[in-house]
Structure 1
């Protein structure tokens, strides 16, 4: 239930319902369900059906396909955060004998390891996992399709490998680890490996006739970490809220921000479409918005989870058909409807609680060469450095506790900012990743690389 303050306006709710109704009708989906999350809470649920006479509610399970990969990525990043592995580690260090051991864990997470898109043999999503009982059956004799690290090449077997990695390092099945470390802490009690009633049946809809064919529901075996899960709009709404806000029992906000950072070399076609991939999440720029999340598709089901991070709006859309509506487009449209009809109200401005005078004296205008920039202290304890006007390099910096700061994004991500002081304690310049920022352009007496002409600024007569 939502309180009146949390509810969407009637016009917004009608626009959302209209969009999913069009998607279900034009896409000829047996049923289509959706949910909207705002400010960390589910605020709307909608459903359309043409099969059994009543609309499914937010507790009906659908198979979510590759959204499963985001859950698997969370498990791997938990291992990294605990110090069990490093993302730069080659797979061989932790899971020897795969034939793909030179690929790093980060490359597997970002689909940049060069592994084949699919398993050898019959279509794995429509045949029993018993046909592929071992990881060697998933990878085949020649697992690589491309050199590692050179391009983004979506790989379902790559996430089967990551699931096997989790099992090796945790000493338990992927399903057990997922339940213990993610599903139970987040309260996702309607997310499971196998369907639990009530659950939608999966259908294929004939492309040229309004008739349907039931799709088989297979257990994927070792491929489960790539696409096995069943879930509901209610559970995925909670999962979407977690992906934005974090939960220290599972993953921190900082690690989730890392997941949302592009981590793979994008294909030219993807660049043109504004799409790339992070660590277990898809990233897309559409209509001026940064959208993150994941889509899913297995025989009988389509799924999409889309988050507009800046708008704090997330959307879940599920359908029980093999093909038909573009749920990625529906998800992006639902985010846009809410964001434009009911723009996010910003948090009130608040001053800093405590003022560090040594930091305060750094605030204000600085020059990199002749380019003016401004350094600001913000109420969240960060420093912000960017051009005085127009475009250019901008970054926020977090304090390291030793008088230095580390860049969080943009050109200066990971770079150090420090104030260089003279013997009398006054500030000579800022050093930002070796770039010297001075209070005046090419300030006389400051440590400007290459020095400053002793005749100073002049005109031409």
Structure 2
């Protein structure tokens, strides 16, 4: 007897409940709610304590803070995909006069634009956005803290600029663009700029006593694109599926994969923790698993979305306290619990319906000098290149439809692979970004740059 792939085993469900129960108790959160997604749908929801006397369900809103940045990044990527801008464009090209226009759009997305982490005083998260009516009020007189493009420095004002960029290009408010281009197409009906009942109130928990203090709820004004949104475990679970698979109504799978690709140099502490940043997404390697997503916090709230694309598992964790439970760690643990207790069952192997013989003859062993590599045909019509043994450069390559392939990842990402043929049509060698791969190690007669000694292999001369 087999268990439905959409159900979790009782032991797995108990382990998930135990993890959030420990997090809520030790983190002293007034409430904590979580969800787990597998294979594109929510398979578990859990909560501890209550909101307004009831256990919070999948439709209770919590403030999600900087997870808002990922939504803003999706809007910017849409503009890129429509050809309205290029990620390499300096901000000044589309939004002149900010004083930070030297930074490119990609650098702002990846927090390498050199901007300050926060806006000038007063503390923007705890004061009305009306105190900062203009971009100049958000950036201050000296917006840069570092040379542009030189280091990762997380910047809330940077995402304010990206929100303003969206408004400038779309000629509409950020909130309206977000609703029509992302929230409505993805069916995120319980995600909004302002709270909609039922929603959790935000609390501060006294560090040395089990006492609560209500936290202020402020509209962030110009800072909205950096952290304004409210959402639910139900909506964020659907958003996690989108971040894993894409949705052509919003953003293609290729573009969300680009968002999940490291784009910023990691700081020393981040390197030690296996953390980096993509385009609007936080990346980390934990327990051998590559995790992507984003965390968020505002006074009274903590939030995290984490997904493992390889395992097809995602987790959402929300809490209504200013500090306490480490929600990013909890979400990563929830993903790990499911992925390890119930590993993903691969699709059954099936032979290709048809094979291009010209491509088939390329399969097998090739040599870059003396280093052996294996070229395989993949089910999607592409190829993969990997070392015959041990560590080394490996990459998946997408067919370009003209007998060439483009690298998708690793050292050869973006590089072109082509088979070079002799006048009689037989394959001479492979050219991959100018590197020559031959059928034999240092093959005699092959066009290897620098040549091959005509005496061939032998002992020390």
TM-score of the aligned structures, taking structure 1 as reference length: 0.98
* 2:277 is the alignment partner of 1:280: no
Matches within 5 A, 1:12-411: 12-49=12-49, 52-411=52-411
The whole-number CA distance in structure 1 between the counterparts of 2:351 and 2:141 is 61
| Per-residue Cα deviation, 1:328-362 (whole angstroms, up to 9, x for no partner) | 11011101100111000011112222211111110
SS in 2 for 1:178: helix
SS in 1 for 2:373: strand
- What's the CA shift for 1:459? 2.4
SS in 2 for 1:429: strand
SS in 1 for 2:200: coil
- What's the CA shift for 1:49? 1.3
SS in 1 for 2:333: helix
The whole-number CA distance in structure 1 between the counterparts of 2:65 and 2:160 is 13
The whole-number CA distance in structure 2 between the counterparts of 1:227 and 1:203 is 18
Asked if the contact 1:352/1:380 (under 8 Å) is kept, the reply is: no
SS in 2 for 1:100: coil
Structure 2 partner of 1:453: 453
Structure 2 partner of 1:412: 412
TM-score of the aligned structures, taking structure 2 as reference length: 0.98
The whole-number CA distance in structure 1 between the counterparts of 2:223 and 2:20 is 31
- What's the CA shift for 1:423? 0.8
The whole-number CA distance in structure 1 between the counterparts of 2:122 and 2:350 is 60
The whole-number CA distance in structure 1 between the counterparts of 2:54 and 2:454 is 84
The whole-number CA distance in structure 2 between the counterparts of 1:251 and 1:161 is 21
Asked if the contact 1:24/1:31 (under 8 Å) is kept, the reply is: yes
Between 1:442-451 and 1:186-195, the stretch displaced more is 442-451
The whole-number CA distance in structure 2 between the counterparts of 1:318 and 1:152 is 26
The whole-number CA distance in structure 2 between the counterparts of 1:88 and 1:242 is 25
| Per-residue Cα deviation, 1:42-80 (whole angstroms, up to 9, x for no partner) | 000000016644311110000000000000000000000
The whole-number CA distance in structure 2 between the counterparts of 1:52 and 1:359 is 63
- What's the CA shift for 1:101? 0.6
| Per-residue Cα deviation, 1:229-270 (whole angstroms, up to 9, x for no partner) | 000000000000011011000011101110010001111111
The whole-number CA distance in structure 1 between the counterparts of 2:20 and 2:372 is 49
- What's the CA shift for 1:453? 1.1
Asked if the contact 2:92/2:102 (under 8 Å) is kept, the reply is: yes
The whole-number CA distance in structure 2 between the counterparts of 1:399 and 1:378 is 10
Between 1:425-434 and 1:346-355, the stretch displaced more is 346-355
- Spell out structure 1 runs of 4+ moving beyond 6 A: none
Going from structure 1 to structure 2, the CA distance change for 1:457 and 1:131 (only over 3 Å counts) comes to same
The whole-number CA distance in structure 1 between the counterparts of 2:182 and 2:51 is 34
Asked if the contact 1:386/1:394 (under 8 Å) is kept, the reply is: yes
| Per-residue Cα deviation, 1:103-155 (whole angstroms, up to 9, x for no partner) | 00000000000100000011111100000011110001100000011110000
- What's the CA shift for 1:402? 1.7
- What's the CA shift for 1:452? 1.2
| Per-residue Cα deviation, 1:161-183 (whole angstroms, up to 9, x for no partner) | 00000000001000000000000
Segments of structure 2 that go 5 or more residues without pairing to the other structure are none
Segments of structure 1 that go 5 or more residues without pairing to the other structure are none
The whole-number CA distance in structure 2 between the counterparts of 1:8 and 1:247 is 26
Structure 1 partner of 2:442: 442
Asked if the contact 1:352/1:378 (under 8 Å) is kept, the reply is: no
Asked if the contact 1:294/1:306 (under 8 Å) is kept, the reply is: yes
Aligned length: 459
The whole-number CA distance in structure 1 between the counterparts of 2:350 and 2:173 is 47
